[in-house]
Amino acid sequence: MRTTSHGAQLLPGGGVRFSVWAPFAERVAVRVRAAGHGPVRLHALERGERGDWSGEVAEAGAGDDYWFVLAREGEAPRDLPDPRSRWQPEGVHGPSRIVAPGDWRWTDEGWRGVAMPELVIYELHVGTFTREGTFDAAIRELPALRELGVTAIELMPVAEFPGARNWGYDGVHLYATQSSYGGPDGLRRLVDAAHRTGLAVILDVVYNHLGPEGNYLDAFGPYFTGAYRTPWGRALNYDGPDSDEVRGWVLDNARQWIRDYHVDGLRLDAVHGIFDHGAVHLLEEIAAAVHAEGDAAGRRAVCIAESDLNDPRVVRATAEGGYALDAQWADDFHHAVHALLTGERSGYYADFGEAGQVAAALREPFVYAGQYSPHRRRRHGAPSTGIPRDRFVVAIQNHDQVGNRATGDRLAGLVEPARYRLAASLLLLSPYVPLIFMGEEYGETNPFQYFVHHSDP
Instruction: Kindly state the helix (H) or strand (E) to which residue 243 belongs, with its residue range.
Output: helix 243-261
How many Cα atoms are found within 13 Å in the side-chain-facing hemisphere of 126? 31
Chain centroid to CA 284: how far?
Answer: 16
Q: Give the count of beta carbons closer than 10 Å to the beta carbon of residue 149.
A: 12
Contact (Cβ atoms closer than 8 angstroms) between residue 153 and residue 162:
no
Q: Which of 269, 311, 400, 440 is catalytic?
A: 269
The residues, any chain, with a CB within 8 Å of residue 75's CB and separated by 6 or more, are none
* Catalytic (active site) residue 269: yes
User: In this structure, are strands 392-395 and 433-437 parallel, antiparallel, or unpaired?
Assistant: parallel
The residues, any chain, with a CB within 8 Å of residue 66's CB and separated by 6 or more, are 8, 18, 30, 31, 32, 33, 60, 82, 95, 96, 97, 98
Across the strands, what pairs with 16? 10, 57
Q: Give the count of beta carbons closer than 10 Å to the beta carbon of residue 231.
A: 9
What single DSSP character describes residue 138? H
Q: Give the count of beta carbons closer than 10 Å to the beta carbon of residue 181.
A: 23
* Catalytic (active site) residue 306: yes
Distance CA 401, CA 408 (A): 9
E-strand stretches of 343-449:
371-373, 378-380, 392-395, 433-437
Q: Which of 65, 260, 306, 331 is catalytic?
A: 306
Torsion over CA: 239, 242, 245, 249 (sign): negative
Report the catalytic residues.
269, 306
